[in-house]
Amino acid sequence: MTAHIPSPDLPIHGTVYGVLLNSQAEWQAAAPLMVSAPYQAPPKAPVLYIKTANTWTLSEHAIAVPSHLPAVEIGATLGVVLSEQGALRGYLLLNDLSVPHSVAEQGFYRPPVKYKCIDGFLGIGAQLLPAADLPDPNAITLEVRINGTLCQTVQLGQMRRLLPQLLADVGEFMTLQAGDVLMLGLDVCHDGPEAERRPQAVVGDVVDIHAPGVPGLGVLRHHLIGAVA
């Protein structure tokens, strides 16, 4: 597969962190596994993972899907971009693509590199909305469309940790630097044919993510193409 080079126009430059199990639905689905070995108890702090720079793809750029993957999982979310001394610089739309997998396959404390850190597998919105223009990011809704058809609605207000609590809890064990990005969390579909999992897309599909009523975030769009060997 050809090497992926992040676009120089990307509105971020730090480390991008995702958060596992921040949706109520995924937490409940995973709850029976949390008390089993090797965990023995639910995680008390946010469980983070990194979307490495090789995954970053600006909106309107194609994302290459490896030939061995019949489909990819779409992870619509909002990312908060940090400024100096923990202040919030702004927000942008993100599409955290991954190889379809279950919580049991991934585990809670094992970095999900093989599922999430494939070249190009983080769509990044081209428009950075200043933090002052969105005082309550968890109040917005995200819509996911594949080839124009609405496939998922993500209510960010339904996350287990809303942004203020998420930032506070992450700050208990690490310091986010200026330019870093923290996702607010991913959710699954709650009804329809893909209920209890995230939407899946295949080569040839066009994926759109937007937040109705928040034009300053723009539309995050990618065309999925087959990877060149």
Query: Tell me: the pLDDT tens digits for 197-226?
Result: 899 999 999 999 999 999 999 999 999 999
Mean pLDDT of 172-195: 92
For residues 104, 108, 112, 115, the Cα torsion angle rounded to the nearest 10 degrees is 30
What's the pLDDT at 23?
Answer: 94
Task: Evaluate whether 180 touches 17 at the Cβ level (below 8 Å).
Answer: yes
Q: Which of 5-9, 81-85, 124-128, 158-162 shows the lowest per-residue confidence on average (mean pLDDT)? A: 5-9
Between 32 and 184, residue with greater pLDDT = 184
Q: Could you tell me the CA-to-CA distances from 82 to 12, 77, 85, 141, 175 in Å, in that order? A: 10, 16, 8, 21, 11
The CATH class of the 16-226 domain is alpha beta
Q: How far apart are CA 53 and CA 43, in angstroms?
A: 27
The answer on pLDDT for 1 being more than 50 is: no
Q: Which two tokens stand for residue 75?
A: 């992870």
Q: Could you tell me the CA-to-CA distances from 68 to 25, 48, 64, 71, 99 in Å, in that order? A: 29, 27, 12, 9, 10
Q: Which two tokens stand for residue 7?
A: 């676009």
- Band (84; pLDDT cuts 50, 70, 90): confident
Q: Give percent of the chain above pLDDT 70.
A: 91
What's the pLDDT at 114?
Answer: 87
Amino acid at 97: L
